[in-house]
Structure 1
Amino acid sequence: MATPTAAPSRGRYLARRVLRLLVSLWIVLTLSFLMVHLIPGDPARASLGLTAPQELVESRRAELGLDRPLPVQYLTYLGDLARGDLGVSFTSRLPVSRLIGERILATLHLAGLALVVVLIAGVAAGLLATVVAHSGRHRGTDLAFSGGSGVLVAMPEFVTAVGLVAAFGVTLRWLPVAGLAGPDSYLLPVLALASGPAAALARIVRAEGLRVLDLEYIRTARAKRLTRSRLYLRHALPNCLTATLTVAGLTLSSLVAGTVLIENVFAWPGLGSAIVSSITQKDYPLTQGLILVLSGIVLLVNFAVDLLIMAVDPRSALGEV
C-alpha cells in the first residue's frame, strides 16, 4: 500500500527531472552557439571562396546575420528555436530540419541495433560469468573473461573500427567498409559501437549478480532446492535490473555520441558524419542543429531511464532506501 507521501514524492521527482532536462538543453544550445562562433574563419568567405571580392563577402555576412552583435544573434537564435526553426544551412541553403531529417534515421538505426547487441550480449555474458565465478570452478575461464572484457572496455571505438575494417574489409574482404548499401553494411559499424559497451555491461552484470547471489533470500531459495535456471533467472536476474537499466541508458547515450567517430570511419550517411563536415565548412546553423539534436536524444534517453527506474524500483529512485 502506497504511503501518503508517495504521490507527492513522485511528483517532485518528476518535476526535478523535467527541470533538469530543460536546463541541460538550454546549456547545450548556449554552449553550441558559443562554440561554433569560436571556430576560426569566416563562414561568408568559406561559402563564397577565397577569391570573392570583399564587398561580396560583406554582403553575404549581412545576409547571414553575422554582422550583428553576438548577443543579438543569440537572442535571434533562441527566438527561432522557440518557433521550431533550426535555421537554414549556410552551405546548401536548405532548412537545417530537412537536412537532419534526411540523416537521423541512419544514426538511430545504427545506435538502436548496437544497443540491442549490447543488451543481449552483455546480459548473457554477464550471467554466464556470474555462474562461472560463483561456482568457484573454471578459474581460468573467469580470468579470461575479466581480461578480455577489460581490453574491450579500454579499447577506443575508432581503434576497434579500424581493426574491423582492416580484418574483415581489407584483408578478408567479407564485408563492405563504407556507406549504407544493404543489411551487411550494418555489421562492422554495429560491432565497432557495441563491443566496448557490451563488455562493460557484462562486467557490471557479473558484479551485481555476485552481490545478489550472496543475499539472504537467495540462500533461502537455494535451501528450497530450486533448479539453477529458476534461481538465476527468476530470483537473481530481476534484482539486477536497476543497475542494468541505468547502465543501458548510459550505454545508449554513449552509442549516440560514439556514432560521430564511427560514422566517419565507415562513411555512414548519418548525423555523426554530417557534424564533422558542417564544422569544417563553418556552417553554423547546421552544426548547432546537429549538436542540439544529438544532445537532445542523449538527454531524453537519460530522462526515460530515470522514469523507468522509478517504475521498477521507486524506493531507490525517490531516495527512500
Structure 2
Amino acid sequence: MKKKTVLISFIIIAFLLVLTACQNSTEEEQGNNDINLHDVPVQASIDGLAHHYHTGDTIELVVRADEINDYRDWHWYTRVDDKEWLEASDQSHNVFHAVAETNGLEIKAILFDDDHQPHLQSDSVTVMIDDHDDDHHHEHDHSHAHDESSEAVYNGYFEDTAIEDRTLLDWQGDWQSVYPYLLAGDLDPVFEKKAEKADMTAEEYKEYYTTGYETDVERIMIEGDTFTFYTQDTEMSASYTYDSYEVLTYEKGNRGVRYIFKRTSGDEDMPHYIQFSDHAIAPQTAHHFHLYWGNDRAQLLEEVTNWPTFYPYRLDADGLVHDMLAH
C-alpha cells in the first residue's frame, strides 16, 4: 500500500513538472513573439502623410505592401519619443484614421498572416503639428495636402516622362460605388459647395455627376489579381493582368492616364478589360478611383461621360462627403 502511495505521488509530481514546463514554454514563446513583432522585415510603405497638421485635423493614412500577398490583417502601432510601440485600437484595416493631437507621433503598420503571426511591417511616419496663424491653411484638411507638383498632376498637367507603370497593389481592398449615395441625396452638400465657386448650380452639378456615377455595380473587391463585382442580384469574379496604360487628352487641355488590366481567367460575364483613372500617374495607394469596364479596349478609351466612382467600403455617407469636400 505504501509503495502504491509513493508511486501515485511520483506520478502527480511528474505531471506537475511537465505542466510547469509547458507553461514556461508557452510564456517563452509568447515573449519571443512580442520581441519579434517589430523585427519582421520592412516591406510596406505608408501614403497620405501631410507635410504638417493643425491640432484637430484628420489624419488619414493608407499602407500598402511592396508585393501582392493574400493577407489583409493589418494592425497599426503608435509611439512618442522612442517609447514602446502601442497598438492603436479600432484600426484593423489598411487605412488609419485619427485626430491630430500629438506632435511627433510615430505611426506604422504590421501585417499578420492567417495564423496571426507578424508577416511584414511598414516603415514608420511621423506626424508634425504646426498651429501657425494662417487662416488659409485652416480652411483645408491637411490629410489631403499636396505640393504644387502633385496638385498639377491631380488636375491633369504633367510630363510624359513622369508617367510610370502601376500594379493592382495600388487598388487592393473593398470598394463601394457612390452612386446610391447620390440617388439618396447624401452628396447634395458636395454639389452645393462646388456651386459656390463655379458657374454651375448645385442642381446642374448633381445632374452632371448622376451621369458620371451611374452604375449597377454596387461593390468591388480587389484581392491580389482578382476582381469581384457585386450588383444587387449577382456576384462574379475573374483574374486580370496588367495591359499597360494610355494617356488621354480632354477638351480643357488637361490629361489623364488610364491604367488597363486584361482578363486572364474567371467568370465569362466579367469584362475583358478594366481601366482605372484616379488622378495619379505613378505608383501610390488610391483613396478613390473612377473605373471603366467592357470588352472593347479602344472603345472604352472613348468613354469620358460615364465614370463609375468607388470609395472605400468602410465609409458611410458622412465619411464620403468629408472626403469629397477635402479635394
* TM-score (normalised: structure 2): 0.18
Looking at secondary structure, tell me which structure has more helix per residue: 1
Q: Which has the higher contact order (CA 8 A, sep 6+)?
A: 1
* TM-score (normalised: structure 1): 0.18
